[in-house]
Structure 1
Amino acid sequence: MKKFVEGLAVLRVLRHPALLRLWLAQVIYLSVQFTASYAMIVLITNETHSAVMVGLVIIALSLPLVLFGAPAGALVDRLDRRTVLWVSNVVRALATLLFVLALLLSPHQYIFIYILAFF
């Protein structure tokens, strides 16, 4: 019963339009991010048939979280949250554009996939 009541508290928070938009943006971003990560793994798997190359993609996707997660969290707490959201969204859009361009211009150059996966 307690979990049900906590669930209702979340619904009350989501009644605020700004928080609802923020939550929806996060849901969309995470869906796209996980889809892109899965697509990178599938692409490398289909192209190379190498467990090592697939492992490198997974490492490239995971390593930034391990290396920069805690310091970035401490830094973000000191900065203006709106600015951080805007800058991070612009950087994500640029990274996505670079990924698409890299795949269009040289689809068999896997180094670009690894760099962008890390980025």
Structure 2
Amino acid sequence: MKREPDGEGSTMHRQKKCPACGSEKRVFERLSEEAVKLGAAPEGFKMPYQMERCLVGEPKAQAEQPMGAKVPVVAVVLDICYDCHCVYAPEIMTGKAVKAPTPKKLVVPGQG
């Protein structure tokens, strides 16, 4: 699957403050800034506590879709509030991916 450029149906939701206490400080965001200051990471580096990307739908049905079909996708970035330790999602992105052919040189597990 290839990510389709932003267009109809794509959204980006950013939450600047912790939903529990209202703090704008996040643990991994601060650690990322510190890594940049110490030269351990390039300018603009941001490491989330966790990031999950997935296709939305049932895999069997997606396998039966023709090439070029669209599938909804979601990406969720998690971080931890520096003040109250609440785990929350400061960024949630949604969109669509387009089903593309598998590269010929890619070895599929169990088939190579």
TM-score bucket (shorter structure): under 0.3
Taking structure 2 as the reference length, the TM-score comes to: 0.25
* The structure with more strand, counted as a fraction of residues: 2
* The structure with more helix, counted as a fraction of residues: 1
Taking structure 1 as the reference length, the TM-score comes to: 0.24
Q: Higher relative contact order at CA 8 Å, sep ≥6: structure 1 or structure 2? A: 2
